[in-house]
Structure 1
Amino acid sequence: MDLTGKQRRHLRALGHHLDPVVQLGKAGLTDGVVAAVDAALERHELVKVRLGTECPDELDDVADTLSERLRAAVAQTLGRTILLYRRHPKEPKIKLPAGS
């Protein structure tokens, strides 16, 4: 899923006040973490994932892997935080602006 700049800005504004739903620790990106992020995306559509200081994985690698495995779009990476978006297939809560 590719987002336009306008859509990314909209999602960043919505995600600004969100707290991280999932945090990666010293075990890094595991199947359990992927499942937790998947469940959170199913419920909320827009979630923050935080990499703890002891996480051995790189931010960009985690963002790419989660994006591919969960069919989600990376709206933002900032510091040690990833903002992911995946539209709910039946009942979308977030209305994205038209792409341009």
Structure 2
Amino acid sequence: MLTGKQKRFLRSEAHHLDPIFQVGKGGVSETMLKQLEDALEKRELIKISILQNNEEDKHEVAEELARGTGAELVQLIGHTVILYKQSVNNRQIELPKSK
């Protein structure tokens, strides 16, 4: 579980990132979740865009993405989801320590 301080840090790190995946009309699929897991292992922090033609609630989509990948939901702002998952073999982000 991320602390508020860690989420603020991750939001600032994600600010310059572009979304690398899009959730469209088809919603979240198993294939997409597998690709997201691979991307999280390589990058640790990713942005995902929820397209306007997606019929599900954006909060449900964000939760489904986080649950399906085992990642932490850092932020849902507008139609953009930010996910973080610490990499096993490729750690790049050093989170601030919680008290």
TM-score category, normalised to shorter length:
over 0.9
Percent of aligned pairs with the same amino acid: 35
Taking structure 2 as the reference length, what is the TM-score of the superposition? 0.93
Distance 1:33 1:56 in 2: 17
User: 2:5 aligns to what?
Assistant: 6
Which 4+ stretches in 1 moved above 6 angstroms?
none
Contact 2:24 2:54 (C-alpha < 8 Å) held by counterparts: yes
- Structure 2 regions of 5+ residues with no counterpart? none
Q: Which amino acid aligns with 1:50?
A: S
- Indicate the RMSD between aligned Cα atoms, in angstroms: 1.0
Q: Which amino acid aligns with 2:61?
A: V
Q: After the TM superposition, which of the residue ranges 29-38 and 43-52 deviates more from structure 2? A: 29-38
User: 2:73 aligns to what?
Assistant: 74
Contact 2:2 2:72 (C-alpha < 8 Å) held by counterparts: yes
Contact 1:76 1:82 (C-alpha < 8 Å) held by counterparts: yes
- Structure 1 regions of 5+ residues with no counterpart? none
